[in-house]
């Protein structure tokens, strides 16, 4: 199966998110800002992320909400004739937790440019094959039972078409082995970061915690439900995408 988290939903406005988590709002007013909500966030979309950065070299880093394009572009990628990144490889929307510190594409970002990607929930597809028929993909929506956002581990990078060019901020979501009943749907899932680990994960002055990258994510209170295949088309975007297509009692608790 593909090691991928490729769609998610987010309904919290970046300004409200910044207020909620006591962060500086650097997203409002950005030309790339998309008005919330977005029930079908796809790769290359500008998304809200959370980082910790310094104002001065020796001050305490502070949380900031920043917009970044989903799909990490390493800084060494060259610019094409049109000034856009000349990347012929796959779009780096995900990074495996067990390879972020060694992969050439991610290891520089893993040292000091780690982020959180907040979302209401994410989608995964269960692939089944009937004898003699095409593979069928059934979408599921994974979310917190209490309605609070999930915060996923991510990496970010700064790319410039030239030394003095305008910077492009891009990011990738870190995935790990799926646990609980979600493992029956897909073999990978985004790496959930609990609130107690946010600041340590975001600390730009320390390397990533190997234990956080290696340990199974805590999925208590996380649920999943089957949803409509409307989510398969990125042109569809509305609350109906996350509505269950089966009776409420048939929802599954991960742990």
Residues designated as active site? 5, 124
Beta bridge partners of 157: 170
The secondary structure of residue 18, as a DSSP letter, is H
> 168-177 and 94-96: which strand pairing?
parallel
Q: What are the DSSP calls for 32-92, one per residue?
A: T--PSPEEEE-TT-EEEEEEEE-SSTTSPPEEEEEEEEESB--TTPPB-TTSSB---S--B
Q: How far apart (Å, rounded) are the C-alpha atoms in residues 19 and 65? A: 10
CB neighbour burial string for 36-71, b if at least 16 within 10 angstroms, e if fewer: bebbbbebebbbbbbbbeeeeeeeeeebbbbbbbbb
Answer for the pair 154, 172: CB distance below 8 angstroms, yes or no.
yes
């Amino acid at each position: 199966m593909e090691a991928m988290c490729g769609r998610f939903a987010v309904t919290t406005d970046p300004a409200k998110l910044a207020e909620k988590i006591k962060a500086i709002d650097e997203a409002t007013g950005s030309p790339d800002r998309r008005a919330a909500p977005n029930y079908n966030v796809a790769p290359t979309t500008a998304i809200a992320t959370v980082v910790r950065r310094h104002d001065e070299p020796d001050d305490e880093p502070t949380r900031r909400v920043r917009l970044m394009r989903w799909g990490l572009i390493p800084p060494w990628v060259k610019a094409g004739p049109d000034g856009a990144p000349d990347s012929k490889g796959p779009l780096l929307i995900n990074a495996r937790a067990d390879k972020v510190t060694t992969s050439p594409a991610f290891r520089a970002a893993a040292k000091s440019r780690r982020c959180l990607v907040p979302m209401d929930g994410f989608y995964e597809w269960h692939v089944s094959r009937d004898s003699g028929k095409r593979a069928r993909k059934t979408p599921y929506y994974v979310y917190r039972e209490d309605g609070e956002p999930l915060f996923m581990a991510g990496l970010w990078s700064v790319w410039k078409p030239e030394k003095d060019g305008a910077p492009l901020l891009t990011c990738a979501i870190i995935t790990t082995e799926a646990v609980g009943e979600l493992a029956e749907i897909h073999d990978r899932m985004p790496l959930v970061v609990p609130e107690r680990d946010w600041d340590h994960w975001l600390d730009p002055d320390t390397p990533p915690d190997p234990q956080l990258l290696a340990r199974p994510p805590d999925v208590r209170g996380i649920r999943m439900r089957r949803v409509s295949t409307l989510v398969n088309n990125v042109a569809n975007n509305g609350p109906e995408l996350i509505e269950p297509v089966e009776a409420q009692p048939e929802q599954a608790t991960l742990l």
